[in-house]
Amino acid sequence: MPQTIVTIGAQWGDEGKGIVVAELLRNADVCVRSQGGDNAGHTLYDSNGEKHVVNIAPSGTIFDHVTNVIGNGCVVNLQTLEENMNGAKGDLYISDAAHLIFEYHKLLDGAQESRRRKKIGTTKRGIGPAYVDKMNRSGIRAGLLKHPELLEEKLRSAIDLKNQELEFWGVEDRINPDAYLEKMKPLFEKYAPMVIDTRAYLISALHEGKLVIFEGAQGSNLDIDHGTYPNVTSSNTTIGGVLTGTGLSHKEIDRVIGISKVYTTRVGSGLMMVDGDAEDLINNMSNKDQYFQQCKLTDSDLEIIGSGDSNHPLYDQLVSRFIRESAEEFGATTGRPRRVGWLDLVVLRKSIEVNGLDGLILTRLDNLDGIPRIKICTRYVNKNTGEELKILPNNEPDLVGFEPEYIELKGWNSTASIRKLEDLPTEAREFVDCVKSTLGIDIYRVKNGPKQGDYVELKNPWSY
């Protein structure tokens, strides 16, 4: 059986990675976050059905038997970590080479986003500026928590410089170093004993035969290099980020599994060819209440969906809203409504190639329940030249003139509570088979509910 499994979001994040990881961790010993910061939002349900949302803490913190590791590729906001660790279980280790996020990172993130003519859609949690400091070799690593005098010296110097930057960006707020250090001191002292060389710990754990899950954050197509730049995150969300973000070699990776919804979602700006709604309409909404005031489905909207008339000019838009409302497609971290569209295999093909995926776990099958006609995008076609694209290109301008081309499948009534493949409705099995055969990749599991155990297994991810 594999000793290590990497899970990677195969779309633009929010694929349901947290609960998939939690299910895999029932048979594992260690859970590792290798990149990103508290811009992630993983919604978990423990064995008692209680809901937990973590941002920077690994998903293994809902288990007593799991050791949790925050790798060197992460940027860590200790205040958010403290919130995540309230009621957490298991041990936690933080890499001494992970960089820390401070208040000035968040202030700069917000200021820079507000000045952009075309918004990236940042969470304004300081992730980008923290990675900028890392690459500029001016960041502060978690290892300094073990050296409080040196930490204070470096943080005072950084605050002095960042206050000047805040003035340049027109931000009125300034950080008082004395007050800030006093505020953060309890967290510095609390988490200092948890700071270790996590690379050495992981090598030791593997030599001891422990089973390790590497937990991806965001999604493959938000990768700073291989994503839909510039509307991407600030780290490598693909398989390469797992290696550089932990210090392990490719030889330690036994299996790589992509996580994908059975439809497509995205938060914020950027390319999404299968978008059901106008991008600006959804992006201009900051929360769920604002969305429901403007876009809540009416009885006549539901009649159009129920008719199954997929040629109706509003069908795709209304189905996207139906999924958003019934599946609660609002950001776990930001509360923003997510953009929603049909499953896009062009996007998945790129994730398969970039990450060398061994297979997929599909999520949210139950959120397609009751939709009479379901579409899957298999390629993009240029309406002027007839040229086709089956893999997402690197640059958005290369897609000018292209439109998504769909195949249509018959929908089904309900997949809820089903645990065996043969018990799924015929139409749902045909949907899964279509994805598997079109992509030419194994499907390990199909989730049809939000809690642990809500899945149909096609192939055991822990066996060869």
Q: What is the dihedral of CA 442, 447, 448, 452, to 10 degrees?
A: 150
Confirm whether 64 is a catalytic residue.
Answer: no
CB atoms within 10 A of CB 248: 22
Question: What does the alpha-carbon distance between residue 360 and residue 363 come to, in Å, rounded to a whole number?
Answer: 10
Residues in CB range of 107: below 8 A, 6 or more apart: 126, 162, 166, 171, 173, 175
Neighbours of 427 (CB within 10 A): 15
| Residue of 186, 208, 238, 245 whose CA lies nearest to 33 | 245
Asked if 105 is an active-site residue, the reply is no
Cβ neighbours, 10 Å, residue 161: 12
Spacing of C-alpha 361 from chain mean position: 14
Helix axes 103-115, 127-135, angle to 10 degrees: 110
Residue 100 corresponds to which amino acid? L
DSSP state of 183: H
Please name which of 186, 187, 212, 198 lies closest in space to residue 70, comparing C-alpha atoms. 198
Active-site position among 14, 96, 275, 344: 14
Q: Which of 42, 52, 99, 226 is catalytic?
A: 42
Q: Report the sign of the C-alpha dihedral through residues 448, 69, 13, 332, in that order.
A: positive
3-class secondary structure, 342: strand
What amino acid positions are annotated as catalytic residues? 14, 42
